[in-house]
Amino acid sequence: MLIRRDDSLLLVVDIQQKLAPAIHDSERVTANSVRLLEAARQLVIPSFVSEQYVRGLGGSVDAIVDAAGDARFFEKTHFSCAAEPGVLELLRAAKKPQVVLTGTEVHVCVLQTAFGLLASGFEVFIVADATSSRTPENRSAAIERMRAGGIRIVTTEMVLFEWLHQAGTEQFRTLLPLIK
- The CATH number of whichever domain residue 9 belongs to comes to 3.40.50.850
Instruction: Mark whether 81 is an active-site residue.
Output: no
Distance CA 33, CA 178 (A): 11
Tell me 108's DSSP state. Answer: I
pLDDT digit string (tens) for the chain, length 180 residues? 899 999 999 999 999 999 999 999 999 999 999 999 999 999 999 999 999 999 999 999 999 999 999 999 999 999 999 999 999 999 999 999 999 999 999 999 999 999 999 999 999 999 999 999 999 999 999 999 999 999 999 999 999 999 999 998 888 888 888 887
Distance CA 180, CA 152 (A): 24
From the candidates 14, 81, 96, 129, which is the catalytic residue?
14
Domain count, the chain: 1
Closest C-alpha among 10, 19, 29, 156 to residue 103:
29
In a 10 Å sphere around its CB, with 0-12 CB exposed, 13-18 middle and 19+ buried, how is residue 138 labelled?
Answer: middle
From the candidates 76, 81, 96, 129, which is the catalytic residue?
76
Owning domain of residue 143: 5-179
pLDDT score, position 179: 87
Number of Cβ within 10 Å of residue 73's Cβ equals: 16
Distance CA 36, CA 92 (A): 20
Model pTM?
0.97
pLDDT score, position 42: 94
Instruction: Mark whether 109 is an active-site residue.
Output: yes
Instruction: Mark whether 14 is an active-site residue.
Output: yes
From the candidates 7, 109, 129, 180, which is the catalytic residue?
109
